[in-house]
């Protein structure tokens, strides 16, 4: 019996688990893997393969890296392969309608949120930053909109108080791999039926900017902590003290009221606690401009900060 065929499109680490799950399931023929062109990285600016390309080549799959999938050459290649499915995960290019019409069944996307919430490029980060208690992964039929296609399957996961965008990224990547292996057979046997999204409930997850990393001490302590965790590892949270930039890596909201102005350091010695617009925030790990990441206690031994000092621009 002929296996259903797939053209897989993905680029970063987030997409690798989906490709791995499809490969290890043995249920599909992966006819082609498509990834973004290799880019120079590191101090030496050497070309490095994308994570998806590296895995695909290790598994012996054919890999193509077109500058644009809208080129006539690539579209003709896809039409010649005539797969049953596209599986698209964090690919990084927009597919036009001619390409979306290529698969015999449909093009399927894996998105790191519970659609229609957090359509867009930063769904994982925004869910943490906004203090959501739960998020998940959605598989959907792709259309020409930004994450607007009909939903197929979803899976949920809680967002814990210690979760960062990095830990949630890894968990959702694993869940996405598990979900795609359920989605494609369900589409073939009719047990998975596309359901239109509720556009009235849609929210947008805009791309992060470096400027968003600056801490607004007038916000509540809980919100600052959520935003910091959502921006870990990138772009990272930072503040200023006496004109010097401090990168803040980990914080802990305290169940104590703030009586000082937001941004005021309220403890000295071996602990660093700062007043916010609502409550106190303990800085657990931080990094100076010319130092490495370290616990606050170690940082304060070499860089004492007196109570009453003010953080912020």
Q: What is the pLDDT of residues 50-74, one digit of tens each?
A: 999 999 999 999 999 999 999 999 9
Terminal Cα-to-Cα distance of the chain (whole angstroms):
66
Asked if residue 309 belongs to a domain, the reply is no
Asked if residue 232 belongs to a domain, the reply is yes
Q: Are residues 72 and 220 in the same domain?
A: no
Give pLDDT, residue 43: 76
On the 0-12 / 13-18 / 19+ scale of CB atoms within 10 A, 255 is exposed
- C-alpha span between 148 and 136 (Å, rounded): 16
Q: What is the CATH number of the domain that holds 166?
A: 3.40.50.170
Q: Are residues 57 and 145 in the same domain?
A: yes
On the 0-12 / 13-18 / 19+ scale of CB atoms within 10 A, 222 is middle
Annotated binding site: 113-116
Asked if residue 37 belongs to a domain, the reply is yes
Residue 54 lies in domain = 5-205
Q: Are residues 185 and 286 in the same domain?
A: no
Annotated binding site for (6S)-5,6,7,8-tetrahydrofolate: 113-116
Asked if residue 55 belongs to a domain, the reply is yes
Asked if residue 308 belongs to a domain, the reply is no
Q: Are residues 58 and 120 in the same domain?
A: yes
Q: Are residues 179 and 229 in the same domain?
A: no
Alpha helices in the chain (DSSP H): 13-25, 51-58, 72-81, 97-100, 123-129, 165-189, 221-230, 296-302
Give pLDDT, residue 289: 86
Q: What is the pLDDT of residues 120-178, one digit of tens each?
A: 999 999 999 999 999 999 999 999 999 999 999 999 999 999 999 999 999 999 999 99
From 205, 225, 259, the end of a domain falls on 205
Question: Beta-carbon neighbour count of residue 245 at 10 Å?
Answer: 12
Q: Are residues 194 and 227 in the same domain?
A: no
Detail the DSSP E strand segments found in the chain.
5-10, 29-34, 39-41, 46-48, 63-64, 85-89, 106-111, 119-120, 134-141, 151-158, 204-205, 237-241, 244-254, 273-275, 280-287, 294-295
pTM: 0.95
Assigned token pair, 33? 């893997």
**How would you classify the pairing of strands 119-120 and 204-205?**
parallel
Give pLDDT, residue 40: 85
Asked if residue 313 belongs to a domain, the reply is no
Q: What is the CATH number of the domain that holds 287?
A: 3.10.25.10
- C-alpha span between 253 and 170 (Å, rounded): 25
From 160, 188, 205, the end of a domain falls on 205
Q: Are residues 33 and 89 in the same domain?
A: yes
pLDDT tens track, the chain, 313 positions: 799 999 999 999 999 999 999 999 999 999 999 999 998 887 778 889 999 999 999 999 999 999 999 999 999 999 999 999 999 999 999 999 999 999 999 999 999 999 999 999 999 999 999 999 999 999 999 999 999 999 999 999 999 999 999 999 999 999 999 999 999 999 999 999 999 999 999 999 999 999 999 999 999 999 999 999 999 999 999 999 999 999 999 999 999 999 999 999 999 788 999 999 999 999 999 999 888 999 999 999 999 999 999 999 8
Asked if residue 260 belongs to a domain, the reply is yes
Q: Are residues 105 and 191 in the same domain?
A: yes
Q: Are residues 195 and 246 in the same domain?
A: no
Asked if residue 57 belongs to a domain, the reply is yes
User: What domain count does the chain have?
Assistant: 2
């Amino acid at each position: 019996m002929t296996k259903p065929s797939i053209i897989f499109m993905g680029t970063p680490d987030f997409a690798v688990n989906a490709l791995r799950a499809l490969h290890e399931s043995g249920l599909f023929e992966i006819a082609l893997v498509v990834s973004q062109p290799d880019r120079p990285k590191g101090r030496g600016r050497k070309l490095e393969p994308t994570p998806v390309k590296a895995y695909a080549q290790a598994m012996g799959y054919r890999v193509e890296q077109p500058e644009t999938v809208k080129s006539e050459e690539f579209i003709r290649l896809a039409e010649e392969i005539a797969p049953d499915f596209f599986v698209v995960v964090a690919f990084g290019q927009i597919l036009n309608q001619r390409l979306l019409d290529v698969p015999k069944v449909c093009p399927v996307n894996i998105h790191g949120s519970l659609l229609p919430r957090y359509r867009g490029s930063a769904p994982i980060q925004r869910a943490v930053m906004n203090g959501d208690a739960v998020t998940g992964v959605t598989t959907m039929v792709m259309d020409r909109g930004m994450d607007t296609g009909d939903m197929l399957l979803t899976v949920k996961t809680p967002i814990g108080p210690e979760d960062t965008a990095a830990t949630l990224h890894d968990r959702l990547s694993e869940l996405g791999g598990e979900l795609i292996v359920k989605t494609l057979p369900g589409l073939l046997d009719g047990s998975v039926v596309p359901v239109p999204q509720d556009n009235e409930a849609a929210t947008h997850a805009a791309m992060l900017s470096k400027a968003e990393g600056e801490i607004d001490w007038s916000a509540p302590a809980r919100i600052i902590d959520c935003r910091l965790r959502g921006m870990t590892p990138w772009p990272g949270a930072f503040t200023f003290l006496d004109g010097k930039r401090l990168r803040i890596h980990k914080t802990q909201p305290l169940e104590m009221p703030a009586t000082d102005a937001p941004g005021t350091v309220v403890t000295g010695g071996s602990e660093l606690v700062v007043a916010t617009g609502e409550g106190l925030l303990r800085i657990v790990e931080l990094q100076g401009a010319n130092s490495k990441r370290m616990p606050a206690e170690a940082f304060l031994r070499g860089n004492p900060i007196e109570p009453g000092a003010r953080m912020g621009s």
